[in-house]
Amino acid sequence: DQQVKQNSPSLSVQEGRISILNCDYTNSMFDYFLWYKKYPAEGPTFLISISSIKDKNEDGRFTVFLNKSAKHLSLHIVPSQPGDSAVYFCAGPGAGSYQLTFGKGTKLSVIP
Amino acid sequence: DAGVIQSPRHEVTEMGQEVTLRCKPISGHNSLFWYRQTMMRGLELLIYFNNNVPIDDSGMPEDRFSAKMPNASFSTLKIQPSEPRDSAVYFCASKHSGSGSQPQHFGDGTRLSIL
């Protein structure tokens, strides 16, 4: 059973528009979340994180929103660029303090 | 700065053969992780080392899989004998130990195909 779920396997967005990637989690005790971006034939790279004491964290064009009551987080990319086309993974704590539990990813395609 | 370095990038071999994947973590990182990525199961943690010591190997699928970390700058993941269902992308990641919220840094992976 997945503790971190990304229910949309893919998303297409026009260049310049907003991309919204969603992630749901089951454990209300989760206290941090991370987003990773992955290009083909490369490893995942860390993008942005959020602590559960916040409901928003922003880094340039990337903003992550956390809704603890809904156990939902989202990554907003504004404006979207073709170079943002990649697979995006959200991750939360795992069973051990050192672990991360990853969602299965959402493939974002930004159309020029 | 050099990132996590994995070798080989691709490996194609016949079933029954021994396969050894290699990883050099980022200098100064004392936590190392091996992951396997498949379409069905996504990214799964296989084993976690801290200060070169295996802490959690509960994700290692079978006795055919083994991992070592003889020193702070090198780790191996070995499959012997290999089977077609082992075909996947294997990632190594490293980080400073401490809070789980610190991001892990991934290598570019080894794409393994067992025929």
| pLDDT tens digits along A84-107 | 999 999 999 887 778 899 999 999
pLDDT at residue B32 in the model = 96
Task: Mark yes or no for CB contact A43/B42 under 8 Å.
Answer: no
Asked if A8 contacts A89 with a C-beta cutoff of 8 angstroms, the reply is no
- Asked, as a colleague might, if the bond just before B81 is cis with ω within 30 of 0, I would say yes
Share of chain A above pLDDT 90, in %: 86
pLDDT at residue B112, as a whole number: 98
Q: Which of B35, B32, B45 is nearest to B4 (CA)?
A: B32
Q: Is the pLDDT of residue A53 over 70?
A: yes
Query: Cβ contact (<8 Å) for B91 and A96?
Result: no
Q: Please tell me chain A's helix, strand, coil percentages from 3-state DSSP, rounded to the nearest 5.
A: 5, 55, 45
Per-residue pLDDT for B93 more than 70?
yes
User: What's the mean pLDDT in B26-44?
Assistant: 94
Q: How many angstroms away from the CA of B43 is the closest CA of chain A?
A: 6
Average pLDDT over every residue of A23-47 = 94
Mean pLDDT, all residues of chain B: 94
Taking CA atoms, what residue in B is nearest to A6? B42
Residue of B nearest to A87 (CA): B42
- Out of B43, B45, B103, the one facing A34 most closely (by C-beta) is B103
Q: Is the pLDDT of residue B40 over 70?
A: yes
Instruction: Please report residues of B whose CB lies closer than 8 A to that of A42.
Output: 108-109
Nearest chain A residue to B103 by CA: give it.
Answer: A46
Q: Which residue has the higher pLDDT, B40 or B93?
A: B93
pLDDT at A1: 64
pLDDT of residue B64: 96
